[in-house]
Amino acid sequence: MSFPFYVSPEQVMTEKADYARKGIGRGRSSVTLEYAEGVLLMAENPSSLSKIGEIYDRIAFAGVGKFSEFDQLRKIGVRFADVKGYAYSRDDVRARALANAYSQAMGDVFTRELKPLEVEVIVAEVGDDSLAGHEKNTIYRVQFDGSISDHQGFCVIGGAAEELMNFLKDQFRTALPLREALQLGRTALQRAAEGQPRVGPENLEACVLERSRAGRKFHRLSADVLRELLGS
Amino acid sequence: MQVPSKYQGSSFTELLSTDHEHLVPDLSRLVPGDPRIRIPEGTTVLALKYSDGVVVAGDRLATEGHRVASRDVQKVYATDQYSVIAIAGAAGPAIEMARLMRIELEHYEKIEGEALELDGKANKLSQMIRANLPAAMQGLVVVPLFAGYDRRRKQGRLWKFDVTGGRYEETDFEATGSGGLYARESIKKAHKAGLAREDGLRIAVEALVDAADEDRATGGIDVLRGIFPIVSFCSSRGVERAADAEIEQVYRQILAARPGGVQG
């Protein structure tokens, strides 16, 4: 004899959310900071698989959680941006539209699919001094259920996000030079990795959106540059 | 946003034809030989090797039959940090191809996390020219030159193409477009291996001057309006464009060296 069983929507959602949080919590965190010359994105990452990527001229992406899932989102973002830039103009590709698209897509998966995405992403855009109304940097965070928020100055995603956000709230200052922003980011990641070996330049991934660059502003900081700036 | 989009690869042109067909340039309904339709033509472009890499240059004139369509059209485009495309033929499709090529290379680099090798880039351009074959059969021929700095081989390289996408690597120099023949003859007389940067620039500018002298569709150097050819250098430092002032100076030296003078 089979029992027809009923599960309340509340319970389904709560359990899905718990499942997603658990998955994200297992991975390492990623920090995004505004600094004097633009936006800095950092992640603790000992592997050669990138967690941070270029989306478009002024837009970068960072993801945490399950690699295959956020890398798929990154590629979707590149396709979205390149098609939009081809159909309209390069200046029409903006972080807000992309963050909204992510929010829609991730929210859709959360409500429709059995398994939610175990990822959180950041979409960061460096301001453009020559484009009126777009001088400021923007940072969007999109969570596994599609909830979206914008942040000023800094944002952290990943398992230790809450704790590190509180830490950065006290420590962050505007217009830090790159070296200090990197050090602050590393200190934050170090706190998340408590009990693990030191977060050195060799297991750090860091990229910048540099305001003064012409055209594509995304730039990956090499291990040598990181070593020089972080001093070990 | 389609999630996931149907297309999962790393080519932008394939992404367009799979998921965004309305954005694919389609010229199939153009009637060949219709006298009401005049398409501007780009004229002379050239590429030649020098000690650090390749010099690529193009004049600025676009013509519609015997008329000037534009005096300052751009025919030399950086497709990424280390490569350049120079276009001749039907201006509309050619400029679009240069734009698509740039997006294609950037798209691949972003999706894959690393740039294509120079051979891969040239091959991709072959495919794009082949895809343009139906339009070429209707008279919209696009025959670009492609050049770049090969970071693996540590040297400059250049290719010419035919309408079927045939790809031919040239060892020293090449020129194409309506004045291409004259430009090539001019380069042939002066070119040798291991040219210094300033010699490369002089030979490129002189070839365009010679082409403009013989071919009415090639724009010379327009000192009156201040319109100069575009000359780009591809080397290990990336793509650098020569300043107008530098080109003007070279041009005046070329004129001074010719006893009878030449049209300017």
pLDDT at position B139 is 79
pLDDT at position B1 is 44
Interface confidence, given as ipTM, is 0.92
A186 in Cβ contact with A42 (< 8 Å): yes
Higher per-residue confidence, B262 vs A124: A124
Q: A80, A82, A217: which to substitute to probe chain B, counting the most B Cβ within 10 Å?
A: A82
CA atoms of B142 and B75, how far apart (whole Å): 12
Strand bridging mode B167-170 / B173-176: unpaired
Q: How many residues does chain A have?
A: 232
Residue A41 is assigned to a structural domain of this protein: yes
Residue A1 is assigned to a structural domain of this protein: no
Preceding amide of B4 cis, omega within 30: yes
pTM: 0.92
Residue A140 is assigned to a structural domain of this protein: yes
Higher per-residue confidence, B247 vs A232: B247
**CB pair distance less than 8 Å for B15 and A82:** yes
Q: What torsion do the CA atoms of B115, B117, B120, B121 make, to the nearest 10 degrees?
A: 60
Q: Assign residue A163 the CATH number of its domain.
A: 3.60.20.10
pLDDT at position B2 is 47
Q: In this structure, is the dihedral angle defined by the CA atoms of residues A176, A177, A182 and A184, taken in order, positive or negative?
A: negative
| Residue ranges, chain B, pLDDT below 70 | 1-4, 261-264
A37 in Cβ contact with A208 (< 8 Å): yes
Print the domain residue range for A225. 29-230
Tens digit of each residue's pLDDT (9 = 90 or more) over A43-62 = 999 888 999 999 999 999 99
Spatial strand order in the sheet of B53-58:
B173-176, B45-50, B53-58, B230-235, B238-241
Nearest CA to CA, how far is B110 from chain A (Å)?
Answer: 6
For every residue of B247-260, DSSP letters joined together read HHHHHHHHHHH-TT
Number of compact structural domains in chain A: 1
Q: What is the mean pLDDT of residues A94-116?
A: 95
Six-digit token pair at A21? 């949080």
pLDDT at position B4 is 63
| DSSP H or E stretch at residue A124 | strand A119-125
Tens digit of each residue's pLDDT (9 = 90 or more) over A11-26 = 999 999 999 999 998 8
Confidence of residue A130 (pLDDT cuts 50, 70, 90): confident
Residue A170 is assigned to a structural domain of this protein: yes
Domains of chain B are 39-257 (3.60.20.10)
Six-digit token pair at B105? 């290379």
Residue A131 is assigned to a structural domain of this protein: yes
First-to-last alpha carbon distance for chain B, in angstroms, is: 53
| Chain A residues within 8 Å of chain B (Cβ atoms) | 50, 53-55, 72, 75-76, 78-80, 82-83, 85-87, 101, 104-105, 108-109, 216
Tens digit of each residue's pLDDT (9 = 90 or more) over B88-102 = 888 888 999 999 999
Residue A85 is assigned to a structural domain of this protein: yes
Q: What is the mean pLDDT of residues A154-165?
A: 92
Higher per-residue confidence, A203 vs A140: A140
Which of B1, B20, B107 shows the shortest C-beta gap to A105? Answer: B1
Confidence of residue A167 (pLDDT cuts 50, 70, 90): very high
How many Cβ atoms from other residues are within 10 Å of residue A204's Cβ?
21
